[in-house]
Homo-oligomer: A and B are copies of this chain.
Amino acid sequence: MRAPHVTDLSGVDAAVYGIPFDTATSYRTGARFGPEAIRSASALIRPYHPVHDVNVVEALSIVDYGDLPVSPGDTQRTYAQVVKALTPIVEAGVFPVALGGDHSITLAELRVLAKRHGPLALVLLDAHADTWEAYFGQKYFHGTTFKRAVEEGLLDANASVQAGMRGSVYAASDLGTARELGFTVIESEELRVLGPQDYGMLVRERVGDRPDERSVRFDEVVVPGVHHNSDRA
């Protein structure tokens, strides 16, 4: 998007950063090259959106913060690196926009965000709930992210909506677990019937049920839902 490469966060509204990591992937890897590919393609993005009548570059100060450090082959070490590198961005009150990377990286980001804001509401559009206990013997993997997040107290599942779930999956329990954890789960067929308007209202209703003594701002709530997940097969 031709944003300047800046690591000084003073006066910055939003920081785009890459997490070039795909070790926690069961099938086809390559999402480690996602940040590079998204940046390359973004050269064509133009800042004015005619429907919303907003020039995002004039309205906000957006910078390219570069890539966060990762350790290919080592998920847990990468989590620690992401937590360390992301904390100053979040502490500075800068809106974080991640370019992934496989789904597993979301857990590290939630650890940083929940430390500052408490349990978050998740608004997820995805084909899978990512609430398995383990996969290929791995507890920290691209299909286990949101079970770990609830277990670690990073998400308020009752304020969260997972929509677009569709098969084929391994078993009925694939979606059952997500519901047992408290998530509102909307399968693909339901979402199509629901339509954009009613889906939006449902999201507002769930997210709006959250405690308001903490002045949670809109951007912080939605963050986990805007991750650009590129580890699809």
A177 an interface residue at 8 Å Cβ cutoff?
no
Q: Write out the residue numbers on chain B whose beta carbons fall within 8 Å of the beta carbon of A32.
A: 29
Chain A interface main SS type: loop
A156 at the interface (CB under 8 A from B): no
Interface centre among A26, A30, A46 (most CB of B within 10 A): A46
Contact with B along A50-61 (1 / 0, CB 8 A): 110101000000
Interface size on A, residues (CB 8 A): 48
Quick one: closest B residue to A174, CB to CB? B48
A25 surroundings in chain B (CB, below 8 A): 72-73
Query: Does chain B have a CB within 8 A of A13?
Result: no
The oligomer's copy count stands at: 6
Identify which of B5, B74, B172 contacts A136 (C-beta below 8 A).
B74
Nearest B-chain residue to A24, judged by Cβ: B73
A5-B5, A48-B172, A174-B48 given; A72·B167 CB < 8 A: no
Known: A50-B166, A136-B72, A168-B49. Contact between A29 and B29, CB under 8 A?
Answer: yes
Cβ-defined contact, B187 with A73, below 8 A:
no
Chain A residues at the B interface, C-beta cutoff of 8 Å: 5, 22-30, 32-33, 36, 40, 43-51, 53, 55, 71-75, 77, 136-138, 141, 165-172, 174-175, 187, 189, 233
A-B contact pairs, 15 of them (CB 8 A): A23-B73, A24-B73, A25-B73, A36-B40, A46-B169, A47-B168, A48-B169, A48-B171, A48-B172, A48-B174, A50-B187, A51-B189, A55-B171, A74-B136, A77-B137
